[in-house]
Chains A and B, each alone.
Chain A
Amino acid sequence: SCCVGDSTTLHSADIISTVEFNHSGELLATGDKGGRVVIFQQELESKNQPQCRGEYNVYSTFQSHEPEFDYLKSLEIEEKINKIRWLPQKNAAQFLLSTNDKTIKLWKISERDKRPEGYNLKEEDGRYRDPTTVTTLRVPVFQPMDLMVEASPRRVFANAHTYHINSISVNSDCETYLSADDLRINLWNLEITDRSFNIVDIKPVNMEELTEVITAAEFHPNQCNTFVYSSSKGTIRLCDMRASALCDQHSKLFEEPEDPSNRSFFSEIISSISDVKFSHSGRYMMTRDYLSVKIWDLNMESRPVETYQVHEYLRSKLCSLYENDCIFDKFECCWNGNDSVVMTGSYNNFFRMFDRGYRQDVTLEASRESSKPRSVLKPRKVCTGGKRKKDEISVDSLDFNKKILHTAWHPQDNIIAVATTNNLYIFQDKL
């Protein structure tokens, strides 16, 4: 099982809205409410501390999206970055997709550690020389320079979504990707920005009949024709793009029958799926609803194969959470590298890990105390009633403003990134 040990904390000024490791785990990207992307890079393991994996330091910062104004609707379009997805690396440069509510951008992040010097017509500072003073010719040569990381927008995929984009997912073919908003899913080619294919459309002819929206979507990690999307009614639909151009008819529908004993006015709201993630193997998928995490076998549509309660003690507080809107919080979830552990966030800066093999779970806290270097995280426990033991926290003293919505797990190692409202915590396993 995984016992989180060493830790690092890093700060960002604005509210973090997405966190994503790249495919090697060397880079960690965060997006924030101000439209910025900050990329951290893992330092190479130092010779001094061979037991310790490198720390993550800021590698690049750039402004991905700016606020816009939709004149037709007299509404602002937020610059908040909803999702970042890395492309698999093909050459020296790194590529990522970042999206706000309306526009997706492909960014190229490249390093420059040398520059040409010795121009004939320009001085070193860039001023142009008087051509009449040039008496000899020379060939400019590359000289080393301080490492510079540049981010440049390579593609802008705009004007394809009427509703708010909630997901982007790169296909395993590395040529296409999907973007999903509340009612539609579009398929893009990474090279083509002026058109996209609509592959799912659940908008009713009459909007008065709208009762269900798309909440998340993802491509299968191996099968480039397969993707899933989740809904606000707790269903997941698996679609095969080979079946038809418009995938309104699902190939599979995953839905767990409701438990009649738990039925309340809030049943639908808490069944709404906030995140869906395929396992790395592609055999399972995980969904997050308000109170639980469910693991589904793609071969079984009738019910999940595993269910983990994240914070069941909130079930009796649903009305208060409805009143303060916390019931609409969208928590994400993630798998570890070998699909044996899943992780998701909760309130009070708690996050939870569930070990599928050992059937163990742990609650940890991302806080200042845990950010001391080399400090081991102490498991937390929420007291649900009766006598509160020492070190337990009662449900009523949980801080619902401190929510961990975004977490990410390194693709190979036991390194996790946990975003509280304003801070990013990176925890590593003690080796």
Chain B
Amino acid sequence: MFPKGTKRKFSDSREEPVAGGEDVNQSSLAAVRMLSSYSLQRQSLLDMSLIKLQLCHMLVEPNLCRSVLIANTVRQIQEEMTQDGTWQIMTQALSAANAAAQCSADRLVATEVLCRQTEAAQGEQVPKPFPVVGSEGCPAEEVLEEEEEAAAAEVGMTMSTVSPQAPTSYLPGTFGMDPCWEEEETGEDDDDDDEEEEEDSEECGSGSEGEERERDSLVEDTRTAEQVFGTFEIKNPAPSPDPALEELFSDVDASYYDLDTVLTGMQSVPKMGPYDLLESLSSHGPSPLSSSTSCRSDLNELDHIMEIIVGS
């Protein structure tokens, strides 16, 4: 089980001479802090990548090479998080949070998601649709029409179906986890959360906030991510850029220097490299396309729906 970061206690921050037994505790605590800092920053990288996949569509025509590289990076992170068990924790936390949020009138749609049932190692690919949750219209969100779902089938990383009134959203696939992320959107609250999260990423070891960050990293998308790849085949109209997105990330800069050192230095964590996983999975050929509008063919368990918190 991936160790969750623990909240820094007052006594921890002081460098006090301790007895031998406490030395062990301190060093393991330091290791835990380091790992939680790594997971925080890995999460930052995931969020950043998801944003990029969205923003890139705002340009004249997305650069396919860039999109593919970002998508591959997201896959790597997802795979590693799955192996760590972080993915499961996150999805469970998110579903719990979402259940609480369900009653709010401002809550947005959840969408139908295709998820892999079995362990990644087995490589079995069984699409499992999730029930569509009733949706509330949200004026700030784009509406994805059902005709575009047919287009979604052909390309790209995300699949979602949406009732015509509902805003689109993307849920990241999980590896065998039942509740997928469902989006949760409260506009301002999310902005605040994100600002907190940015501050958190600079303070290593604030573990409980880190957990919240993971839990709150719901992503909500206004465009199908298959548009990232799919514009070339079937075009979906590009929505206008979302200023909230830019505002959200406008002050993210120096914190990523920390991200650099942590991420480039800490690559020994996964036992099996992401590409080993990818190889074993892709060797099992594509599943046939489902003709049902409610069931998208997701041939690569890495290509799952991701949402980005937009902020209304």
Q: Which of chain A's residues have a CB closer than 8 A to the CB of B263?
A: 264-266, 319
Which of B63, B73, B154, B261 is close to A207, meaning CB atoms less than 8 Å apart?
B154
How many A-B residue pairs have C-beta atoms within 8 angstroms? Tell me. 127
Interface size on B, residues (CB 8 A): 50
Q: Which of chain B's residues have a CB closer than 8 A to the CB of A319?
A: 45, 256-257, 259-260, 263-264
The digit string for B63-102, where 1 denotes a CB below 8 A from any CB of A, is 1111011011100110000000000000000000000000
- Roughly how many angstroms separate A317 CA and B254 CA in the complex, as a whole number? 11
- Roughly how many angstroms separate A171 CA and B229 CA in the complex, as a whole number? 31
What is the chain B residue whose CB lies nearest that of A274? B65
Question: Counting CB contacts under 8 A, is A196 at the interface?
Answer: no
- Roughly how many angstroms separate A209 CA and B303 CA in the complex, as a whole number? 8
Question: Contacting chain B: which of A38-46, A71-79, A122-130?
Answer: A71-79
Which of B61, B76, B278, B289 is close to A164, meaning CB atoms less than 8 Å apart?
B61
Within 8 A of B (CB), among A180-211: 182-183, 205-211
Contact B300 A208 (CB under 8 A): yes
Q: Which of chain A's residues have a CB closer than 8 A to the CB of B231?
A: 73, 75
Question: Counting CB contacts under 8 A, is A272 at the interface?
Answer: yes
- Roughly how many angstroms separate A78 CA and B157 CA in the complex, as a whole number? 26
Shortest distance between the CB of A189 and any CB in chain B (Å)? 26
What is the chain A residue whose CB lies nearest that of B68? A213
Contact B299 A207 (CB under 8 A): no
- Roughly how many angstroms separate A263 CA and B233 CA in the complex, as a whole number? 34
What is the chain B residue whose CB lies nearest that of A76? B60
- Roughly how many angstroms separate A316 CA and B258 CA in the complex, as a whole number? 10
Contact B235 A73 (CB under 8 A): yes
Contact A212 B68 (CB under 8 A): yes
Contact A328 B261 (CB under 8 A): no
Question: Counting CB contacts under 8 A, is B155 at the interface?
Answer: yes
Q: Is the interface of B mostly helix, strand, loop or mixed?
A: helix
Contact B65 A213 (CB under 8 A): yes
- Roughly how many angstroms separate A297 CA and B259 CA in the complex, as a whole number? 37
Question: Counting CB contacts under 8 A, is A57 at the interface?
Answer: no
Question: Counting CB contacts under 8 A, is A315 at the interface?
Answer: yes
Question: Counting CB contacts under 8 A, is B5 at the interface?
Answer: no
- Roughly how many angstroms separate A205 CA and B68 CA in the complex, as a whole number? 16
Shortest distance between the CB of B80 and any CB in chain A (Å)? 8
- Roughly how many angstroms separate A319 CA and B254 CA in the complex, as a whole number? 10
Within 8 A of A (CB), among B267-300: 267, 273, 278, 282, 286, 289, 297-300
Q: Which of chain A's residues have a CB closer than 8 A to the CB of B230?
A: 207
What is the chain B residue whose CB lies nearest that of A182? B64
Contact B155 A207 (CB under 8 A): yes
Which of B73, B253, B299 is close to A206, meaning CB atoms less than 8 Å apart?
B299
Question: Counting CB contacts under 8 A, is A310 at the interface?
Answer: no
Q: Is the interface of A mostly helix, strand, loop or mixed?
A: loop
Shortest distance between the CB of B97 and any CB in chain A (Å)? 27
Question: Counting CB contacts under 8 A, is A146 at the interface?
Answer: no
Question: Counting CB contacts under 8 A, is B156 at the interface?
Answer: yes
Q: Which of chain A's residues have a CB closer than 8 A to the CB of B155?
A: 206-208, 210
Q: Which of chain A's residues have a CB closer than 8 A to the CB of B65?
A: 182, 213, 215, 232, 272, 328
Question: Counting CB contacts under 8 A, is A162 at the interface?
Answer: yes
Question: Counting CB contacts under 8 A, is B31 at the interface?
Answer: no
The digit string for B11-45, where 1 denotes a CB below 8 A from any CB of A, is 00000000000000000000000000000001001
Contact A328 B66 (CB under 8 A): yes
Q: A75-B235, A206-B154 are in contact. Are A264 and B267 (CB under 8 A)?
A: yes
Question: Counting CB contacts under 8 A, is B252 at the interface?
Answer: yes
Instruction: Give A residues with C-beta under 8 Å from B.
Output: 72-78, 101, 162-164, 182-183, 205-213, 215, 232, 263-266, 268-269, 272, 315-320, 322-323, 325, 328
Beyond A164-B61, A211-B68, A317-B257, 14 additional pairs, beta carbon < 8 A: A72-B235, A78-B60, A164-B63, A182-B65, A206-B155, A207-B154, A209-B282, A210-B68, A210-B229, A213-B65, A263-B273, A266-B73, A272-B69, A323-B48
Instruction: Give B residues with C-beta under 8 Å from A.
Output: 42, 45, 48, 52, 60-61, 63-66, 68-69, 71-73, 76-77, 154-157, 226, 229-233, 235, 237-238, 252-253, 256-257, 259-261, 263-264, 267, 273, 278, 282, 286, 289, 297-300, 303
List 13 contacting pairs A-B, 8 Å CB cutoff, sorted by A. Answer: A76-B61, A162-B232, A206-B286, A208-B154, A211-B68, A268-B72, A269-B73, A319-B259, A320-B253, A320-B256, A322-B48, A323-B256, A328-B69
